[in-house]
Structure 1
């Protein structure tokens, strides 16, 4: 199955608000020192660790090319900025600090998440590193962040362990959702159908070219939970064709061997999300009330309903270093 391409100039679902954060035309290198640590790289962007010359504070600098495939994609970058600004009061979304622009790039200076991506916690060799209570806390924080986004009509569309970072690894810190390059605003005015993502994390409705809703993100949360408790990826095959078949048929291994150390409540939670029909998947709000997530009291968790923006319907990157998965 080929990747559906899209024209940066005509994608529906982009926020079009003017950035609240000033875009500085000054030389980024006058204010920050880039270290040797590259945190992530994609075809159109690179993320590097940087240090503020005035404060010594560590940040992650995301360098985004303004032209992609011969097209001006500045609007896409401004959309990503708008989403970050929209979620600035949510502690589980990476914080945007500053913005710089030059002739070829826009540079986002972002909060540095020193714990790296939670993908590292999904590796079999790190199976003993986290307990089920740790996983419950992380899943609750992911859900709180996603609930906040959904309340503001934003779907992430690329939720995966590589796009969920940790503020620290020792001790295990809090989660930070990153990379909103594929995110879109949803509403009644249009239907989103053309977005694609990483093969093993695609939802069935994307493969079927059906309308995309907030339920697409919920499928991905099911995958993330599965990977954290089993240390395996539920749908990945020998090649993309096998992966797509596994997704379309929802071929998931719930065998006793794979789930031997997983509680029944955790299994129920995952099974409720990994269903083909998007309408049958619970919302983020409903998931937060699931019995599995109610077993532990983590104290002052973020309550998204208290600080969520009222702008519904309006536009408005372990043991390694932090990594941002980028397009």
Structure 2
């Protein structure tokens, strides 16, 4: 999975805010959108956690959390109100833990939205204990060398791709 289009990204210091509305509607946090109640839009890094929730939703379901084709309510109003659901045909195979994490990230109020630390500590982000033990044993065994050799070609291809993209950027 590659996530791209960071051309409008900015680094923020603690307590800093951004004011320009920019981004793709499906991934925009409600606080980034103009609000008739406030004269000025003001947002911080919490909007990235909303976007993470939207990306996770798309990756697990293959569809957008917000319905662009709905004639009754515009996509930006759906975002402002946090109007999304988990249709069974798209989420029948998705665990309750995964859906819970998405809910915590797609929380309209940035003060109540999960922090990055909470995301890392969420149950869905942790492997089951039985799997983590098995992984550790496999990698530390004699087969670990075979595994590393098997994946080495893929990593060298990635390096070649990175070098090619760097050369392309120069032109």
Q: TM-score, normalised by structure 2?
A: 0.64
Counterpart-to-counterpart distance in 1, 2:52 and 2:16:
25
**Residues 205 and 294 from structure 1, CA distance in 2 versus in 1: closer, same or farther, beyond 3 angstroms?**
same
CA distance in 2, matches of 1:178, 1:259: 25
2:7 aligns with one of 181, 205, 214: 181
Where in structure 2 are there 5+ consecutive unaligned residues? 140-160, 166-171
The 8 Å contact of residues 18 and 43 in structure 2, kept in 1 or not, is answered as yes
Cα distance change, pair 278–288 in 1 and its aligned pair in 2 (3 A): same
CA–CA distance in structure 1, aligned partners of residues 97 and 116 of structure 2: 17
Bigger radius of gyration among the two: 2
Q: Check if 1:235 corresponds to 2:66.
A: yes
Contact preservation (8 Å) 1:237, 1:246: no
The residue aligned with 2:21 is: 195
- After superposition, the Cα gap between the structure-2 partners of 1:239 and 1:255, relative to the gap in structure 1 and judged at 3 Å, is closer
Q: Stretches of 4+ moved more than 4 A in 1? A: none
Q: Give the Cα separation in 2 of the matches to 1:282 and 1:224.
A: 15
Change in Cα spacing, 1:239 to 1:197, as seen in structure 2 (3 Å) is farther
Cα 1:188–1:221 shift into 2, 3 Å = closer
Measure, in 2, the Cα distance between the counterparts of 1:283 and 1:188. Answer: 14
Which digits, 9 at most, give the CA deviation of each residue in 1:296-324, with x for residues without a partner? 54769xxxxxxxxxxxxxxxxxxxx99x9
Aligned residue for 1:284? 116
Alignment size in residue pairs: 129
Quote the Cα distance in structure 2 between the aligned partners of 1:262 and 1:188: 35
Work out the CA distance in 2 between the residues paired with 1:267 and 1:197.
24
- In 2: Cα distance, 1:228 partner to 1:239 partner: 21
Is 1:251 the counterpart of 2:66? The answer is no
Give a deviation string over 1:40-68, Cα, whole Å, max 9, x none.
xxxxxxxxxxxxxxxxxxxxxxxxxxxxx
* Larger RCO (CA within 8 A; separation ≥ 6): 1
1:221 CA drift (Å): 0.6
CA offset at residue 231 of structure 1? 0.8
- 1:149-164 equivalences under 5 Å are none
Worse-matched range after superposition: 284-293 or 252-261: 252-261
Whole-angstrom distance in 2 between the partners of 1:179 and 1:255: 28
SS of corresponding position for 2:91: coil
What RMSD, in angstroms, separates the aligned Cα atoms of the two structures? Answer: 3.0
User: Is the 2:57–2:64 contact (alpha carbons within 8 Å) kept by the matching residues of 1?
Assistant: yes
Q: Structure 1 stretches of 5 or more lacking a match?
A: 1-117, 119-164, 166-176, 301-320
Does structure 2 conserve the Cα–Cα contact (< 8 Å) formed by 1:219 and 1:274? yes
Contact 2:82-2:107 at 8 Å conserved across structures: yes
